[in-house]
Structure 1
Amino acid sequence: MRAMLFQEVGKPLRPVRVPVPEPGPGEVLLKVHACGICRTDLHIVDGELTEPALPLIPGHQIVGSVAKLGDGVERFREGTRVGVPWLGATCGACRYCRSGRENLCDHARFTGYQRNGGFAEFTVADARFCFPIPGGYPDLQAAPLLCAGLIGYRSLVMAGEGERLGIYGFGAAAHIVTQVARFRGWRVYAFTRPDDQAGQAFAREMGAVWAGASHERPPEELDAAIIFAPAGELVPAALRAVGKGGVVVCGGIHMSDIPPIPYDILWGERSIRSVANLTRRDGEEFLALAPKVPVRTEVTAYPLSAANEALDDLRSGRMRGAGVLVIDEG
């Protein structure tokens, strides 16, 4: 099969031909149709996440059809269309797994990080961690739901209840969570790089009532803010934008160092939370909710062979909405 292989930090992914993998007990072999491009993929190939299982096939927003069942799999049939998220496996026995917090499992294995992912024509996944794809979403439009959508949804849940939500960094996750937030009654205020006029226009197109530069104050005090941009300096900025009792949610798996925070901008029962990974319950809840909103994903498509170009576009901020690799159009 064709695949894009990550072998060394600082080097581009290499197009290769490798054997089609075989599913083990409890696993499914998937014929990959599409795979989303995520900022986490950048953190992996740029060396900011330091524990990849090299050589590695990246990609963790996978949409594919079941091509073969491993022993013991009864959940799916061959031909079923499923999605594979970032969380690829957990131990099921640690205190986090036993208390409904499998996203914090110390022994978790992640798709496209410790398990080969979807930048390939076929991949193997643990059947317990795959989701049926809701009807009405073509492969390309479904792929961003599996990480950008799921992390955005978990971040919104962490933000609690309120009316005024700030979103810092308007990319794949932000354009999805804006739609969900509006569905739930929030007014959304979008913050982008100061010179990103296109991003601000995109945010307004997605339903934001205001869009401006990340250093600006919104026209009214926020109840909560979600930070998707991996820039630690945005944490104090978001704290200054939220009112007393406000929540700042850091939605990325990696962020640059947070500068010193004056206590007066934290005081007033403001809080800072991080979002780590996802649970299968998050996936089930969000994929049931998405068609009701309905969530519309804005997608830029790339062929598998252009994975490096897609990552460069994401790195430079040239990508509108979510990037998706087209693996198989059949």
Structure 2
Amino acid sequence: MTDDLVTQAWVVDTPGPMATSPLRRVRRTVPSPTAEEILVEVLACGVCRTDLHLAEGDLPPRRPQCTPGHEIVGRVLAVGAAVRDFQPGDRVGAAWLAGTCGVCRYCRSGHENLCPKSRYTGWDIDGGYAGHTVVDARYVYRLPEDWPEDELAPLLCAGIIGYRALLRADLPPGGRLGLYGFGASAHLTAQLAIAQGATVHVLTRGENARRLALELGAASAGPATASPPEPLDAAILFAPAGELVPVALAALDRGGTLSIAGIHLSDIPTLNYARHLFQERTVRSVTANTRADGRAYLAEAARIRPRVHVQRYGMGQADRALTDLATGQVNGVAVLLPD
């Protein structure tokens, strides 16, 4: 019966700068869920920098006319024949990781984020910039009913990726953490790290972002290229700016680790071995997340209940939300809500 369901959806038409209007809003028929899938009515969808990279062509499109959006909070409308964990009416979240092969050595060893056949919401399959979408129930999270949709949505990528980036940074208990860039993911990661006992120093270009960082408990907040007030045990680079890699490495204490959280990064300048890498400093990338990461972070978020700084847009304003993100006008995280 869902074959006749028509929804409004944004698609990436011709990737390019936001000034060229790469997104187009269309009406499309929503497919019925297959055996392992669920049909979801979208209640909120966070706007991630990855969506911007896809719209502007930094990430090559995996399929034409794909609908972006991978921070989806929704309500189950229908379930496939093999789905046992969800039923119509359940509140669920769909995140970036949309599918894996389940049989490769990465999947079998707990590293499904590295699966060569991994698929992603809003890149390989249609995402949440729409009224409805269909997702694989095996990659969906059950969400609490007592949390506003617009505050839950950013947890599903900004929160989860920040959690994995923090793990990859090897921050010691009570350590000193530097966060480079302070958007959607960093403002959630800062609160998690502070709740775990870390001292957090924020380095970012925006004055509004620096003010927000201090409001959320950061020990200091300065310009992106400045030196923190003390050596760092670990750092996370959230800004997609390769020129900040040597800056962050130079701020690390001996044995410190830099974790690079983004899916896209501009070119990294030449590193000086003695200044940036010697004394066992480490650089690590972050690739997507596992479902275990998602479950662990959502449990932590339920415990600490982070303050989610939201800028709300109607679903019909998705292009404006991405433009604001591109031009640094989003302080915290942008979230699309039904018109």
TM-score (norm 1): 0.97
Aligned mate of 1:27, from 34, 37, 46: 37
**1:282 matched to 2:293:** yes
**1:192 matched to 2:204:** yes
Amino acid at match of 2:273: Y
C-alpha separation between the residues in 1 aligned to 2:296 and 2:248?
28
**Match of residue 177 from structure 1:** 189
Aligned mate of 1:9, from 15, 33, 38: 15
Aligned mate of 1:60, from 39, 48, 70: 70
Contact 1:44–1:52 (CA under 8 A) maintained in structure 2 = no
Amino acid at match of 1:178: A
Alignment of 1:265-304 (within 5 A): 265-304=276-315
Aligned mate of 2:336, from 315, 325, 328: 325
C-alpha separation between the residues in 2 aligned to 1:280 and 1:55?
27
**1:309 matched to 2:309:** no
Question: How far did residue 55 of structure 1 move?
Answer: 1.0
Unaligned runs of at least 5 residues, structure 1: none
**Match of residue 149 from structure 1:** 159
**Match of residue 214 from structure 1:** 224
**Match of residue 143 from structure 2:** 133
C-alpha separation between the residues in 1 aligned to 2:36 and 2:282?
41
Amino acid at match of 2:313: Y
Aligned mate of 1:51, from 57, 61, 68: 61
Contact 2:45–2:70 (CA under 8 A) maintained in structure 1 = yes
Contact 1:21–1:122 (CA under 8 A) maintained in structure 2 = no
Secondary structure of the equivalent of 1:36?
A: strand
Secondary structure of the equivalent of 2:302?
A: coil
Contact 2:97–2:289 (CA under 8 A) maintained in structure 1 = yes
Amino acid at match of 1:325: L
Question: How far did residue 135 of structure 1 move?
Answer: 4.2
C-alpha separation between the residues in 1 aligned to 2:33 and 2:256?
46
Aligned residues: 326
- Following TM superposition, the consecutive aligned residue runs of length 4 or more in structure 1 with deviations greater than 3 angstroms are none
1:271-311 CA-partner distances (Å, limit 9, x unpaired): 00000000000011011110211212111110011000000
C-alpha separation between the residues in 1 aligned to 2:228 and 2:248?
10
Amino acid at match of 2:203: F
C-alpha separation between the residues in 1 aligned to 2:143 and 2:133?
17
Amino acid at match of 2:169: A
Aligned mate of 2:235, from 220, 225, 238: 225
C-alpha separation between the residues in 1 aligned to 2:54 and 2:225?
28
C-alpha separation between the residues in 1 aligned to 2:226 and 2:49?
24
C-alpha separation between the residues in 2 aligned to 1:154 and 1:60?
17
Contact 2:11–2:24 (CA under 8 A) maintained in structure 1 = yes
1:124-181 CA-partner distances (Å, limit 9, x unpaired): 0000000011343211100000000000000111111331000000000011001000
Amino acid at match of 2:55: V
Contact 2:67–2:127 (CA under 8 A) maintained in structure 1 = yes
1:244-269 CA-partner distances (Å, limit 9, x unpaired): 00000000000001111000120000
C-alpha separation between the residues in 2 aligned to 1:188 and 1:287?
21
Question: How far did residue 53 of structure 1 move?
Answer: 1.2
Secondary structure of the equivalent of 2:303?
A: coil
Contact 2:71–2:94 (CA under 8 A) maintained in structure 1 = yes
Aligned mate of 1:117, from 106, 111, 127: 127
C-alpha separation between the residues in 1 aligned to 2:247 and 2:309?
28
Contact 2:91–2:145 (CA under 8 A) maintained in structure 1 = no
